[in-house]
Amino acid sequence: MSDYNVVSARNTENAPKNIGPYSQTVAYSHYNNLSAQLPIDPKSGELVAGGVKEQAEQCFRNIKAIVDSIDHVMSDVVKITVFVKNIKDVDAIDEVYKTFFSTYVPTRTVVAVSALPMDALVQIDALVSHGEGTIPNAPQSGDLIKLTNNTTNAPMSALSTQAVAFSHYNNLSAQLPIDPKSGRLVVGGVKEQTGQCLKNIKAILESVDVPFDDIVKINVYLKNFSDVEAVNEVYTTFFPDSAIARAVAYFPARTTVAVSALPMDALVQVEAVVSHGDGTPPQAVEDRHGLILEANNTENAPKNALATQTVAFSHYNHLSAQLPLDPKTGEMVAGGVKEQAGQCLENIKAIIESVDHVMEDVVKVNIFLKNIADIDAVDEVYKTFFPDGVPARSIVGVSALPEGAMIQIDAVVSNAEGTPPIA
């Protein structure tokens, strides 16, 4: 961990005490990464009484308490991810959502998952801008400005902004396979739907004059995991997108999971995290390629032809989700969920070490479990890798994972040295 930029983990008594080894919020550089908030009353430590509306309100209250505790406001939220147990509850959640974001709306992703911790009906994750940065004794000079953008060439929603840029990243709302002209799902199956999702992402990026190959991380949410090969066929027609990217066979880091349902009964939904080389004012305008993407793979972790293990840009590394695969054999490790969790984390550790970082540099961990009841067993292993409980964390139960795995883990890692400009 560098003394130049520091990982700053914080907790407040005004939000629920963590139910695992994690921190409520971990700031690094110009972002605060929050742990997903459950509808827990911080005073009682129990789920609030009532239905999904009451639970959604408590989730947002908890997020607001954390945001307030670090001297920020809800309009500093860049991205919201809503994990809901029943997709039919989204309308009720939206009623509550509007009361917390009455004017500015962040980017947003909504998925229905098979299970949530404590049998909650909803869990909400947030990413928050951090204008002052985390350089010790050297706060950011001048407030950085969030840049919001919507284009009519992609589907628009009153409840989310298509893209919100802050500092050196653009965070996009997850894109459904909606034709922006009709506002309806495109005709056809999963291939047509995947193509439309990626076309919508491309339209958003073109509207802010950013090339498709500036994407750092892709998350693919599938209704049926059996569709993954069809999705990949379409995926490879979009990536790599440029001659430069093709020359090095660049693919973004990627996470793919099966969820129980998606909005509008879609078969697929895709979200993207995008590099933003010129930054947001008052950062000095740089040539878009003045900062470079640093993509890296190591033989010490499993490789995937359609994903890079880690892609660094500016002060963050985004890792592809790691399965419990032995990198030497390419096979699933023997044993149960403990052994699988250990292998996922060993793979993450190998990737991090391959780019000269350490596990203490991790700021956010996302855990996808086939069986939510495995949380306690996973935590036994998790604590051996993160004994201080510093990273923020999200855990959801999903319908299916690649290779029939019981667990899959991805991570966001601080990158103190940043990425260099082209000489």
Domains 1-139 and 292-423 belong to one CATH topology: yes
pLDDT of the residue at 6: 87
> DSSP per residue over 335-357, as a string?
SSHHHHHHHHHHHHHHHHHHTT-
List the helix and strand counts (H, then E) for the chain.
7, 18
Q: How confident is the prediction along the chain (423 residues), in pLDDT tens digits per residue?
A: 445 778 999 999 999 999 899 999 999 999 999 999 999 999 999 999 999 999 999 999 999 999 999 999 999 999 999 999 999 999 999 999 999 999 999 999 999 999 999 999 999 999 999 988 888 777 765 688 999 999 999 999 999 999 999 999 999 999 999 999 999 999 999 999 999 999 999 999 999 999 999 999 999 999 999 999 999 999 999 999 988 888 899 999 999 999 999 999 999 999 999 999 888 988 877 655 568 899 999 999 999 999 999 999 999 999 999 999 999 999 999 999 999 999 999 999 999 999 999 999 999 999 999 999 999 999 999 999 999 999 999 999 999 999 999 999 999 999 988 898 754
pLDDT of the residue at 23: 96
pLDDT of the residue at 287: 58
pLDDT of the residue at 136: 79
d(CA 313, CA 276): 9
Q: Which CATH class is domain 1-139?
A: alpha beta
Place of tokens 């459950």: 38
Q: Which CATH class is domain 144-284?
A: alpha beta
The C-alpha angle 315, 166, 193, rounded to 5 degrees, equals 100
DSSP, res 276: -
Q: How far is CA 359 from the centre of its chain?
A: 18
The burial of 42, by beta-carbon neighbours within 10 Å (0-12 exposed, 13-18 middle, 19 or more buried), is given as middle
pLDDT of the residue at 1: 43
Structure-token pair, residue 200: 């919508």
The whole-model pTM stands at 0.96
Angle between helices 228-238 and 190-207 (to 10 degrees): 30
d(CA 380, CA 162): 39
Q: How far is CA 30 from the centre of its chain?
A: 16
Please give the CATH topology (third level) of the domain spanning 292-423.
60s Ribosomal Protein L30; Chain: A; (3.30.1330)
List the chain domain ranges.
Answer: 1-139, 144-284, 292-423
SS3 96: helix
- Dihedral of alpha carbons 240, 33, 122, 200, sign: negative
pLDDT of the residue at 131: 86
pLDDT of the residue at 174: 98
- Dihedral of alpha carbons 356, 358, 361, 365, sign: positive
d(CA 315, CA 25): 17
